[in-house]
Structure 1
């Protein structure tokens, strides 16, 4: 098995604020759903957070990630990156979370897990390479964070990441460690 290349630097992933689909426990990978009031408040709570060094801000093109980025980083420019979008769950979009298939199965008309892992790997490596001595901060989705864990940390998806909590994927030699900041 070939080793997966590491990103060139540490990076931060932030799952968007709570959405109506999160609150209703509905699958909404590529379905565009709004933030709840709680989700807006979660995002706003990040606005006064101190960052360790200058950042380069990126967001998924989904409105929930863009809205979170605007509330969490008011007045700050961010770049949209299609590679940060959530997984397409195909025929399972809009279904209760209890109907979600096993991650390794490819949903009809959806994105396969190996394809998503490759997309996330390519995207994060590309963003890190372009960030040049600043911390890349990416407002994205649960699936992106879980894929990053599989690719570079524990090899396991772990628990569903919390909404609007910065997770630092810190590069340390030939390892990446996930830390809540």
Structure 2
């Protein structure tokens, strides 16, 4: 298991709504793909959610994450953070998901797994430090959530996270646990 410094407090990660690439089982790390109607409906459903504490909303610069954020938090200001973008799968972008290389392999013209983990660790630590007094809610991607699991919870990527479902990474003492909220 990787040992990464813990973020200063709890944070919530939300994978964007379903996209055309999700529906077609296509690799779309840095490829900008739109939400499907289902994805837009998933994001709108989040707007009905009552949050138990003040939140600060951040999102990936990818259109699918920004659109999800706009629909899920229609009256709330949010900050776009470049570090929340999905992993670049290089030459595998746009190919069928069943052709995706092993996570630990560095795809030609893509981002390595260690570099991606370091980026995720840095960006979440920065956002948590800047969000004192609020729960940071980050609308991001499957890869970001899986990296957070490797860095701070089980040490394993786990199953693909569901679209548009908040996952709380709750810090208790020197541990972080993932919970559906």
TM-score after normalising by structure 1: 0.99
Return 113-122 or 74-83, whichever deviates more.
74-83
Which residue of 2 is the match for residue 72 of structure 1?
72
Q: Deviations over 1:89-138 (max 9, x none)?
A: 00000000000000000000000000000000000000000001100000
Asked if 1:56 corresponds to 2:53, the answer is no
Q: Distance in 2 between matches of 1:30 and 1:3?
A: 27
Query: Where do 5+ consecutive residues of structure 2 fail to align?
Result: none
Residue 94 of structure 1: SS of its match in structure 2? coil
Give, in whole Å, the separation in 1 of the partners of 2:115 and 2:52.
33
Partner of 1:106: 106
Show the 5 A alignment for 1:78-89.
78-89=78-89
What residue number does 1:163 align with? 163
In the comparison of the two structures, how many residue pairs are matched?
Answer: 181
Q: Partners in 1 of 2:89 and 2:102 — Cα distance?
A: 11
Partner of 2:28: 28
Correspondence for 1:93: 93
C-alpha contact 2:13 2:139 (8 A) present in aligned 1: yes
Taking the aligned partners of 1:60 and 1:3, their CA distance within structure 2 comes to 25
In structure 1, the residue matched to 2:147 is 147
Q: Measure how far apart 1:65 and its partner are.
A: 0.1
Matching residue of 1:42: 42
Alignment-derived partner of residue 180 in structure 1: 180
Q: Distance in 2 between matches of 1:3 and 1:20?
A: 35
For residues 23 and 154 of structure 2, the distance between their equivalents in structure 1, rounded to whole angstroms, comes to 28
Superposed displacement of residue 3, structure 1: 3.6
Q: C-alpha separation between the residues in 2 aligned to 1:153 and 1:59? A: 22
Question: Partners in 1 of 2:4 and 2:45 — Cα distance?
Answer: 35
Deviation at 1:2, TM superposition (A): 8.2
Question: Which 4+ residue blocks in structure 1 deviate beyond 3 angstroms?
Answer: none
Paired with 1:48 and 1:94, the residues of 2 have a C-alpha distance of 33
- TM score, norm. by length of structure 2: 0.99
**Matches of 2:56 and 2:80 in 1, distance apart?**
12
